[in-house]
Structures are given as structure tokens and as C-alpha cells.
């Protein structure tokens, strides 16, 4: 049971990693956490994988009906969609400084290397995305028996507090904003094969949609997916030009299980949360559209440029 956290005179944002070893450990820690919140009349949202949802439902019994359960396999397939879901929950339930609780499990065994990397960036960005004064207590479970040691080590860098069955302690390795910035500026892994490449600027933007759609369709991507991806690429190119880019390049790799596309330009993306907030009507946020239509989106920024890599699975 998580009951060793220090008392606070005032509620605030708490982003904590919960390290667990087996099913009984998982439920012994998280069921009381949920029940304590419900008894305090706090709204609770739980976003975990389906197996763990069932563990918690069984442990909560009839109390489970008062909890908002979300399938993290669906929500977190593209990790960039998770922060908007938490923000919607906070907007709905945390009004008038009302405390709320959450459990979020973006990382589980079996994630691909690219998904894992974006989940780890997501965890780091959670420290920037929520107002420090927001009375939101968020626990992130980590399966230490089946996740690799380096994944658990990374959790210590992205969470200010580490919680275990019998311990509650600050993480000496927590790196805050600096860690999020370094991850956001890191280079993406190289891909195999020569990509199709096309430069874009204000003069040829109108032809970009047709060229990209044709290239994706010829490569074997289904027509509807090719159309969606081409629209996203054109919107990202338009966003680049709107931010002041003089030119950019679109690259497309035909990979065994997916099509991978990049939009790179000569203007850095300064806001690491771009695409993770619902845009206003007048915004040119192509990243928001990308996150809704693509299976995985990777954004990196560096001095003098930025790159958005899009993944669209076949089938």
C-alpha cells in the first residue's frame, strides 16, 4: 500500500514512478491509492493495459464503477496522444483547485524501440505539461521484473519520486527540464535503405500533396492511408513555412511493416509540447493532425532545424 508519502499542507502536482514486481504487488500498491482518492471525493482516471485494468477492477470490486478506465494500448499506441488525454481529464475534473488522481502506464514489455523512446520522452514532458500548482497526483507503474534495467533507470531520471511497496523517496537522478530538452534534441536512429526525397518551398507546396500521395501508393500503402499521410505531410510543410522556414525536405522510406516519412526544415521547433495541445482554429499546428492520423510521431529539434518522423503501418 502506498501510504508512506509525506503529508502536504497544500496539494500540488505529483509525478511519481511506481516500481512493482508481480500482480499482488501491483494491486497492493494501486488499489488503496485509488480507494483513498475515491474516499476523498477525488476523480480518478486509470490508463493501463487491459490485463492490469482487470487486476484493478477485481481488487476494487464495486468501487471500480467510480473510476474512469482507459485502455492504454489504444490511447498510448502513439504516446503523443497521452498528454492531451490527461489534460482533458484535468479540464473536466480538476476545476476550482479540486484534487484528482491518475495512474498512467505508457511503458510495458513488448513496446518497439521507437515506441519506447517516445514513451520515455512523454514521461519527461509530463514534468513540463502540467502546472506545478495543479492538485494532480499521477502514478506511473513500471514492471521491474520484465522491463530492462535501463528502462527502469530512465524512470528515475523522468520522475521526481520513486515509489515501491515499502518505500517512498525522491529520485537523486531526476533531471527535470534539462532531461526533456536533451531528449527532444537527440538525433533519431538512421533507417535502412535510400529514401524517396523531395524538396519543398512556397513555390511548389501546391504540388507536394499529389507527388507524395502517388509515391506512397506506388510503394504499396493502402489508398486511404496514403491519402491521410500525404495530407499530414503537406500540413507539416505548410506549418514549416508558416514558422519561417525557407525550404524543407520530405523523405519517404519503404520499411517492411510500415511507411516512414520525414519532414525536415531549417527552423527549430522551440516548444517540445507542440502537437500535444488541442490547437486553436487559427493555429498552423500540423503536428496535432499528425498525432491523430499516424501510428507514431517522432519530433526532434536542434539548432538551425527540426525533424518530424511519421510512421504509418501497413494492413
Q: Confidence class of residue 282 from pLDDT cuts 50, 70 and 90?
A: low
Which residue's C-alpha cell is 527532444? 184
Q: What average pLDDT does this structure show over 46-60?
A: 98
Q: How confident is the model at residue 9, as a pLDDT?
A: 42
Please give the Cα distance from 301 to 304 (Å, whole number). 8
pTM comes to: 0.94
Residue 269 has pLDDT above 90, yes or no: no
More confident residue, 5 or 253: 253
Span(s) in the chain for CATH 3.30.565.10: 196-313
For 135, phi then psi, to 5°, come to -80, 65
Q: What average pLDDT does this structure show over 230-256?
A: 93
Q: How confident is the model at residue 283, as a pLDDT?
A: 66
- b/e 156-188 (16+ beta carbons within 10 angstroms → b): bbbbbbbbbbeeeeebeebbeeebbeebbeeee
Q: Confidence class of residue 10 from pLDDT cuts 50, 70 and 90?
A: low
Q: What average pLDDT does this structure show over 254-261?
A: 94
Residue 279 has pLDDT above 90, yes or no: no
Mean of the per-residue pLDDT values of the chain: 93
For residue 162, give the C-alpha cell.
520513486
Query: Is the domain defined by 14-184 classed in CATH 3.40.50.300?
Result: yes
Q: Confidence class of residue 112 from pLDDT cuts 50, 70 and 90?
A: very high
Identify the burial level of 110 via C-beta atoms within 10 angstroms of its C-beta, where 0-12 means exposed, 13-18 middle and 19 or more buried.
exposed
Query: Is the domain defined by 196-313 classed in CATH 3.30.565.10?
Result: yes
Q: Confidence class of residue 8 from pLDDT cuts 50, 70 and 90?
A: very low
Residue 6 has pLDDT above 60, yes or no: no
Q: How confident is the model at residue 4, as a pLDDT?
A: 46
Residue 67 has pLDDT above 90, yes or no: yes
Q: What average pLDDT does this structure show over 85-102?
A: 94
In Å, how far from its chain's centre is CA 166?
A: 29
Q: Confidence class of residue 11 from pLDDT cuts 50, 70 and 90?
A: confident
Contacts of range 216-223, beta carbons closer than 8 Å, 24 or more positions apart: 216/252, 216/259, 216/261, 219/252, 219/254, 219/259, 220/254, 220/314, 221/259, 221/312, 221/314, 222/314, 222/315
Residue 140, SS3?
Answer: strand
Q: Confidence class of residue 97 from pLDDT cuts 50, 70 and 90?
A: confident
Give 283's contacts (C-beta < 8 A, 6+ positions apart): none
For 214, phi then psi, to 5°, come to -65, -45
Residues 144-192 have pLDDT tens digits of: 999 999 999 999 999 999 999 888 999 999 999 999 999 999 999 999 9
Amino acid at each position: 500500500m502506498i501510504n508512506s508519502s509525506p503529508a502536504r499542507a497544500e496539494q500540488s502536482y505529483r509525478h511519481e514512478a511506481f516500481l512493482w514486481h508481480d500482480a499482488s504487488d501491483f494491486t497492493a500498491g494501486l488499489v488503496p491509492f485509488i480507494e483513498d482518492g475515491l474516499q476523498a471525493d477525488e476523480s480518478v482516471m486509470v490508463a493501463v493495459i487491459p490485463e492490469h485494468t482487470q487486476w484493478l477492477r477485481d481488487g476494487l470490486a464495486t468501487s471500480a464503477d467510480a473510476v474512469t478506465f482507459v485502455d492504454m494500448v489504444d490511447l498510448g499506441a502513439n504516446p503523443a496522444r497521452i498528454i492531451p488525454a490527461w489534460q482533458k481529464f484535468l479540464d473536466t475534473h480538476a476545476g476550482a483547485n479540486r484534487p484528482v488522481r491518475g495512474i498512467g502506464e505508457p511503458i510495458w514489455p513488448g513496446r518497439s524501440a521507437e515506441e519506447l523512446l517516445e514513451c520515455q520522452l512523454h514521461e519527461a514532458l509530463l514534468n513540463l505539461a502540467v502546472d506545478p500548482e495543479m492538485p494532480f497526483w499521477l502514478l506511473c507503474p513500471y514492471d521491474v521484473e520484465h522491463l530492462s534495467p535501463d528502462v527502469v533507470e530512465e524512470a528515475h531520471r523522468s520522475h521526481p519520486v520513486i515509489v515501491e511497496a515499502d518505500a517512498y523517496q525522491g529520485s537523486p537522478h531526476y533531471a527535470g527540464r534539462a532531461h526533456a530538452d536533451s531528449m527532444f534534441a537527440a538525433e533519431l536512429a538512421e533507417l535502412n535503405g535510400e529514401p524517396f526525397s523531395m524538396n519543398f518551398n512556397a513555390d511548389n507546396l501546391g504540388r507536394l500533396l499529389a507527388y507524395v500521395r502517388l509515391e506512397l501508393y506506388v510503394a504499396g500503402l493502402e489508398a486511404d492511408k496514403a491519402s491521410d499521410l500525404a495530407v499530414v505531410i503537406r500540413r507539416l510543410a505548410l506549418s514549416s513555412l508558416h514558422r519561417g522556414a525557407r525550404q524543407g525536405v520530405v523523405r519517404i522510406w519503404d520499411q517492411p511493416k510500415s511507411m516512414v516519412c520525414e519532414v525536415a526544415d531549417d527552423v527549430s521547433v522551440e516548444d517540445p509540447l507542440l502537437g500535444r495541445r488541442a490547437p486553436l482554429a487559427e493555429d498552423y499546428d500540423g503536428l496535432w493532425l499528425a498525432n491523430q492520423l499516424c501510428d507514431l510521431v517522432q519530433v526532434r529539434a536542434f539548432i538551425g532545424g527540426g525533424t518530424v518522423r511519421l510512421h504509418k503501418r501497413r494492413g
